[in-house]
């Protein structure tokens, strides 16, 4: 297997959820210390990939200010992050996709290199980040060759990412040295607590 380079990788920021715990506000656009959450992710994630896509199901005009391609889920009814991953896999022209959620402002600048190294070392088509305690499924790298498997799974009405992963060999990318990079905000209260801690 050849080494994976940045040119081989498209990144997708998953911002397609309903954010029910955020009272339905669009999570990527919620301010954290005065800046939309997605901007933190773009700043650290974009330099790690050759192309970046934003997956959002609302507010395309606002998201388009960042200058990246915006894609909606190709599956109806907000059926979860896997739908965003599938829609991105269907679009990309690189052999690999790396995913990150829009609500994780402390994302690691070594996320993509760790995921690539794990796939390369273990010769798999999927790698998933691990924070030392558990897998972090929305921080993963997937080879485009898996698109038909993912589409078939979603078409059957399946939703769970872990269950889809379990159909394939996966490599685990150890990011236990940087657990904070997986911290993500699912409610306004969590944002307020974190803002106060940083003061």
Ligand X SMILES: Nc1nc2c(ncn2[C@@H]2O[C@H](COP(=O)(O)OP(=O)(O)O)[C@@H](O)[C@H]2O)c(=O)[nH]1
Query: What is the nearest approach in angstroms of ligand X to the Cβ of residue 44?
Result: 15
Question: Residue 14 touches which of ligand X, Mg ion, none (CB < 5 to 8 A by kind)?
Answer: ligand X
Q: How far apart are the first and last CA of the chain?
A: 47
Is residue 26 a contact point for Mg ion (CB under 5 A)? no
Q: Which CB, 127 or 184, lies closer to Mg ion?
A: 184
Question: Residue 16 touches which of ligand X, Mg ion, none (CB < 5 to 8 A by kind)?
Answer: ligand X
Q: CA triplet 186, 73, 152: central angle to 5 degrees?
A: 110
Question: Residue 147 touches which of Mg ion, ligand X, none (CB < 5 to 8 A by kind)?
Answer: none
Is residue 184 a contact point for Mg ion (CB under 5 A)? yes
Q: Which CB, 55 or 124, lies closer to Mg ion?
A: 55
**Positions in the binding site for ligand X (CB under 6 A):** 14-17, 27, 55, 73, 78-81, 83-84, 101-103, 138, 184, 186
Query: What is the nearest approach in angstroms of Mg ion to the Cβ of residue 169?
Result: 26
Among the listed residues 55, 43, 47, 50, the one whose alpha carbon sits nearest the alpha carbon of residue 12: 55
Burial label for 90, CB within 10 Å (0-12, 13-18, 19+), is middle
* Bridge pairing between strands 51-56 and 69-71: parallel
Query: What is the nearest approach in angstroms of ligand X to the Cβ of residue 85?
Result: 8
Is residue 136 a contact point for Mg ion (CB under 5 A)? no
**Considering only residues 81-120, where is the footprint of Mg ion by CB under 5 A?**
103
């Amino acid at each position: 297997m050849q080494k994976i380079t940045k040119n081989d990788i498209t990144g997708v920021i998953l911002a397609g959820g309903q954010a029910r715990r955020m009272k339905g506000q669009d999570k990527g656009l919620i301010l954290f210390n005065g800046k939309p959450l997605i901007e933190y992710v773009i700043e650290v994630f974009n330099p790690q990939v050759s192309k970046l896509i934003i997956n959002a199901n609302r507010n395309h005009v606002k998201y388009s200010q960042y200058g990246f391609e915006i894609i909606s889920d190709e599956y109806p009814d907000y059926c979860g992050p896997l739908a965003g991953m599938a829609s991105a896999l269907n679009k990309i022209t690189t052999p690999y996709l790396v995913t990150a959620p829009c609500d994780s402002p402390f994302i690691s600048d070594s996320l993509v290199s760790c995921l690539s190294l794990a796939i390369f070392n273990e010769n798999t088509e999927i790698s998933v980040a691990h924070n030392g305690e558990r897998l972090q499924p929305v921080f993963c790298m997937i080879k485009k060759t898996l698109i038909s498997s993912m589409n078939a799974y979603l078409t059957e009405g399946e939703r769970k990412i872990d269950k889809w992963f379990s159909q394939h060999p996966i490599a685990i990318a150890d990011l236990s040295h940087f657990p904070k990079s997986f911290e993500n905000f699912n409610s306004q209260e969590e944002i307020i607590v974190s803002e106060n801690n940083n003061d």
